[in-house]
């Protein structure tokens, strides 16, 4: 299943005290954080709209510099460099993000884990892999993984990875967090409405220039170019994780590129997960976690979380939805 975002580009004319007020929808696509971000705002005019979008881009770039594990000067890289050596003092913002990531690890029983970056690269999904790793190789691959090995000091705001060779990566939560922060910035600047779409991890506020709700199209799992249903996204967020194109097959069984950080094994049985919640950060993290948990456990978790819904397409392209999802 793919989630397709529907956006009406155009003008709205509102009548008030005999005077017309025109609002314009402005959109720009930018490559950020290794992916495409589609940023849409509803503004008084195009000039203001493009200024707003540039402000959002700057905020996303700031987040990227903060959490990137590729930038050797980032706080995340400094944490990884000092794994097993010493705690690293970080900004309150990064500390809180890591803290929230660990909370998600707790509620998902480790299915979401930012220390997955320490997994040995024994699985290859580029077509070059001829044999499955041995059981011992798989066990060894997770020896430096485990969110409980992240020591957080709330007083000094330090982060310490207990084992040498441990690493954290915020990749499974980063785009959602960046989208949330860009939205927060624009809302604070009184931008009336918009959408931050980080390659499928999106968050919205306000309504279209027409006054209608923002809509996402849920693709038919049996025909991905056709819309199965339209769902409104009002002051809300959605994130999608998929394995349609990146997988390996052994002995007739399909394995996703998403690995279970607890076992080191690739996931099978799910093609896609979309999670709806108040923040793109939470949606992003839970979409990954549900892939790992599987259909039954994943849906049971979602149905326990207030204000959170999910749509899962299993390996047989059968669609499963949480109790609050109503198709039109």
Examine residue 249 and state whether it is found in any structural domain, yes or no. Answer: no
State the total domains in the chain: 1
Cα distance between residue 243 and residue 233, in whole Å: 24
In the block, tokens 């149905």 appear at 303
Examine residue 282 and state whether it is found in any structural domain, yes or no. Answer: no
Encode pLDDT of 124-163 as tens digits. 777 777 778 888 988 898 999 999 999 999 999 999 999 9
Domain of 159, CATH number, reads 1.10.3980.10
- CA dihedral sign of residues 89, 95, 101, 103: positive
Examine residue 301 and state whether it is found in any structural domain, yes or no. Answer: no
Examine residue 234 and state whether it is found in any structural domain, yes or no. Answer: no
Mean pLDDT for each consecutive 10-residue tract of the chain (328 residues)?
A: 41 33 88 94 95 98 90 92 97 97 97 90 77 86 95 98 95 94 97 94 92 82 70 88 72 77 89 94 96 95 94 91 83
Examine residue 198 and state whether it is found in any structural domain, yes or no. Answer: no
Cα distance between residue 236 and residue 203, in whole Å: 6
Cα distance between residue 57 and residue 195, in whole Å: 13
Cα distance between residue 20 and residue 5, in whole Å: 29
Residue 327 has a pLDDT of: 74
Residue 233 has a pLDDT of: 85
Residue 19 has a pLDDT of: 35
Q: Give me the domain span that covers residue 133.
A: 75-172
**E-assigned strand segments in 124-222:** 150-153, 158-161, 193-198, 201-205, 215-220
Examine residue 113 and state whether it is found in any structural domain, yes or no. Answer: yes
- CA dihedral sign of residues 38, 40, 45, 47: negative
Residue 22 has a pLDDT of: 75
Residue 244 has a pLDDT of: 62
Residue 221 has a pLDDT of: 66
**All residues at 6 or more sequence positions from 89 whose CB lies less than 8 Å from its CB, including other chains:** 156, 157, 158
Bridge partners, residue 230, by sequence:
217
Examine residue 203 and state whether it is found in any structural domain, yes or no. Answer: no
CA distances from 202 to 182, 211, 239, 283 (A): 11, 19, 6, 9
58-92 as b/e, with b when 16 or more CB fall inside 10 Å? ebbeebbebbbbeeeebbbbebbebbeeebbebee
- Phi–psi pair at 98, nearest 5 degrees: -65, -40
Examine residue 85 and state whether it is found in any structural domain, yes or no. Answer: yes
Conformation bin of residue 34: beta by default, left when phi > 0, alpha when psi is -120 to 50: left
Residue 131 has a pLDDT of: 79
The angle formed by the CA atoms of residues 246, 242 and 236, to the nearest 5 degrees, is 155
């Amino acid at each position: 299943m793919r989630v397709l975002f529907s956006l009406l580009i155009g003008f709205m004319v509102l009548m008030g005290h005999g005077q017309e007020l025109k609002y314009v929808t402005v959109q720009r696509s930018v490559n950020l954080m290794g992916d495409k971000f589609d940023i849409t705002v509803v503004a008084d005019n195009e000039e203001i709209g493009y200024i707003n979008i540039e402000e959002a881009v700057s905020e996303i770039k700031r987040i990227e510099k903060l959490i990137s594990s590729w930038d050797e000067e980032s706080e995340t890289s400094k944490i990884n460099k000092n794994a097993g050596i010493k705690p690293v003092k970080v900004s309150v913002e990064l500390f809180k993000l890591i803290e929230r990531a660990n909370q998600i690890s707790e509620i998902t029983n480790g299915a979401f884990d930012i220390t997955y970056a320490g997994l040995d690269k024994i699985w290859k999904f580029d077509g070059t892999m001829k044999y499955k790793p041995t059981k011992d190789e798989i066990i060894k691959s997770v020896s430096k993984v485990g969110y409980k090995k992240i020591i957080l000091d709330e007083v000094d705001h330090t982060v310490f990875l207990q084992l040498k060779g441990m690493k954290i990566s915020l990749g499974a939560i980063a785009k959602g967090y960046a989208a949330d922060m860009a939205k927060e910035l624009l809302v604070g600047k009184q931008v009336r409405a918009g959408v931050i779409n980080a390659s499928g991890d999106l968050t919205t506020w306000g309504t279209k220039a027409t006054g209608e709700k923002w809509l996402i199209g849920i693709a038919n799992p049996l025909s991905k170019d056709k819309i199965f249903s339209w769902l409104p996204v009002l002051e809300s967020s959605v994130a999608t994780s998929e394995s349609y194109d990146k997988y390996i097959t052994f002995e007739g069984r399909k394995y996703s590129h998403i690995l279970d950080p607890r076992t080191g094994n690739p996931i099978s049985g799910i093609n896609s997960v979309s999670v709806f919640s108040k923040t793109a950060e939470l949606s992003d993290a839970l979409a990954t976690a549900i892939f790992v948990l599987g259909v039954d456990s994943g849906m049971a978790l979602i149905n326990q979380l207030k204000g959170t819904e999910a749509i899962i397409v299993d390996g047989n392209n059968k669609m499963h939805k949480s109790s609050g999802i109503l198709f039109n």
